[in-house]
């Protein structure tokens, strides 16, 4: 497993500071959830960790097992074991899902040690069945014409195929009906081990009814303002975010 550490992370977009000092440590095997109102900076956090060029880290650090993630190119971050499921997964025209996943797996392996084709196909079939996906989705172009729910399921397919050491899942629950949500949760839960940790970013508590996080953090105005266990998410579901603002004396 790997340990991801964020220290006093500040991130700006177009010279506007969005993240104002985020501290977080995710240890091997841990599941963390970040919740927070719209505009709090949750997606900014995910994008900054993955190295999206629009997000400028102005100070602070991100390390993976002590290695400086911010010094890494985007593909090096994936190779180091980081995985990001974006809030809005992009379409890749002309590249089939199967080819995309296979090259992503191989990009993480040494040259000459590529995954054997038959082994890949078997694993892909098995995983798609597990996620109750239509097998012909493997031959379609990545996310092209996929429904919102199919895109989210497809992100979990990539996750299970790539077996990263740390996954950041941004609103993996948004736009899912209850059956799709259960399948997505089943996929994420199947990854649980000492070799895998997960940061789930979500606006709603619903996902956490199916995946119990070890830690829950609340993000507001670019900072983590409160941390706790699963009970914190339940209270947010029942009472919203207002009580935290009052507790902390935040006015808006
Ligand atoms: P959340 O995911 O918590 O809803 P975001 O990280 O998407 O929040 O957004 C945080 C803030 O950053 C918002 O005020 C949003 O308008 C702003 N923001 C996000 N992306 C961009 C961008 N590409 N350009 C300018 N502002 C942005
Ligand atoms: Mg949002
Ligand atoms: Mg977001």
| Domain coordinates in residue numbering, the chain | 4-90+164-248
C-alpha 235/C-alpha 159 separation (Å) is 30
Give the pLDDT confidence of 23-80 residue by residue, as tens digits: 999 999 999 999 999 999 999 999 999 999 999 999 999 999 999 999 999 999 999 9
- Closest ligand 1 atom to residue 38 Cα is 4
- Closest ligand 1 atom to residue 47 Cα is 6
Pocket of ligand 1 (CB under 6 A): 13-14, 18, 36, 38-44, 54
By most ligand atoms within 8 Å of CB, the mutation choice from 41, 42, 47, 225 for ligand 1 is 41
Task: Please state, as a whole number, how many other Cβ atoms lie within 10 Å of the Cβ of residue 235.
Answer: 14
Query: Tokens at residue 84, please?
Result: 């990001």
Give the pLDDT confidence of 130-142 residue by residue, as tens digits: 999 999 999 999 9
Query: Tokens at residue 12, please?
Result: 């700006």
User: What is the Å distance from ligand 1's center to 39 Cα?
Assistant: 6
C-alpha 45/C-alpha 50 separation (Å) is 9
Between 148-162 and 97-107, two packed helices, what is the crossing angle to 10 degrees? 30
Q: Which ligand is nearest to the CA of 221?
A: 1
Candidates 4, 151, 15, 147; CA nearest to 77 is: 4
Share of the chain above pLDDT 90, in %: 88
By most ligand atoms within 8 Å of CB, the mutation choice from 15, 36, 40, 56 for ligand 1 is 40
C-alpha 235/C-alpha 125 separation (Å) is 40
User: What is the Å distance from ligand 1's center to 117 Cα?
Assistant: 41
Q: What is the pLDDT of residue 249?
A: 85
C-alpha 121/C-alpha 144 separation (Å) is 21
Query: Which residues, in sequence order, are CB contacts of 159 under 8 Å at separation 6+?
Result: 83, 85, 167, 169, 187, 188, 191
State ipTM: 0.93
Alpha helices (H) along 143-210: 148-162, 178-190
- Closest ligand 1 atom to residue 44 Cα is 6
Give 4-90+164-248's CATH code, choosing from 3.30.70.1140, 3.40.50.300, 3.20.20.300, 3.40.190.10: 3.40.50.300
Confidence band for 252, pLDDT divided at 50, 70 and 90: low
Lowest mean pLDDT among 23-32, 55-64, 143-152, 208-217: 143-152
In the 8-state DSSP scheme, what is residue 90?
P
Give the pLDDT confidence of 76-97 residue by residue, as tens digits: 999 999 999 988 899 999 999 9
Closest C-alpha residue for ligand 1 atom 24: 13
Closest C-alpha residue for ligand 1 atom 19: 44
C-alpha 2/C-alpha 23 separation (Å) is 17
Ligand 3 (single-atom ion) residues, CB below 5 Å: 42-43, 87
- Closest ligand 1 atom to residue 36 Cα is 3
Query: Tokens at residue 19, please?
Result: 């993240």
Give the pLDDT confidence of 6-26 residue by residue, as tens digits: 999 999 999 999 999 999 999
Query: Tokens at residue 10, please?
Result: 């500040």
C-alpha 60/C-alpha 27 separation (Å) is 19
**By CB neighbour count within 10 A (0-12 exposed, 13-18 middle, 19+ buried), where does 122 fall?**
exposed
Query: Tokens at residue 107, please?
Result: 């990009």
By most ligand atoms within 8 Å of CB, the mutation choice from 9, 10, 18, 45 for ligand 1 is 18
């Amino acid at each position: 497993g790997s340990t991801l550490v964020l220290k006093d992370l500040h991130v700006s977009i177009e010279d506007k500071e969005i993240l104002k000092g985020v501290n977080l440590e995710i240890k091997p095997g841990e599941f963390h959830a970040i919740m927070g109102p719209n505009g709090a900076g949750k997606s900014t956090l995910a994008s900054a960790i993955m190295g999206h060029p629009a997000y400028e880290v102005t100070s602070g650090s991100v390390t993976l097992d002590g290695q400086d993630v911010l010094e890494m190119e985007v593909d090096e971050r994936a190779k180091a074991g980081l995985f990001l499921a974006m809030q809005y997964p992009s379409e890749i025209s002309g590249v089939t899902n199967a080819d995309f996943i296979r090259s992503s797996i191989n990009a993480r392996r040494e040259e000459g040690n590529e995954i054997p084709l038959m082994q890949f196909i078997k694993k892909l079939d098995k995983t798609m069945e597990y996620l109750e996906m239509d097998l012909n989705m493997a031959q379609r172009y990545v996310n092209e014409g996929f429904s919102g729910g199919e895109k989210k399921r497809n992100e979990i397919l990539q996750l299970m195929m790539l077996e990263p050491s740390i996954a950041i899942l941004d609103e993996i629950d948004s736009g899912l009906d209850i059956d799709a949500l259960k399948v997505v949760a089943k996929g994420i839960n199947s990854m649980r081990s000492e070799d895998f940790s997960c940061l789930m970013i979500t606006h709603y508590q619903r996902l956490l009814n199916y995946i119990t996080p070890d830690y829950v953090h609340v993000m507001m105005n670019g900072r983590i303002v409160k941390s706790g266990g699963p009970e914190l998410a339940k209270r947010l579901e029942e009472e919203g975010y207002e009580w935290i603002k009052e507790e902390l004396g935040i006015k808006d």
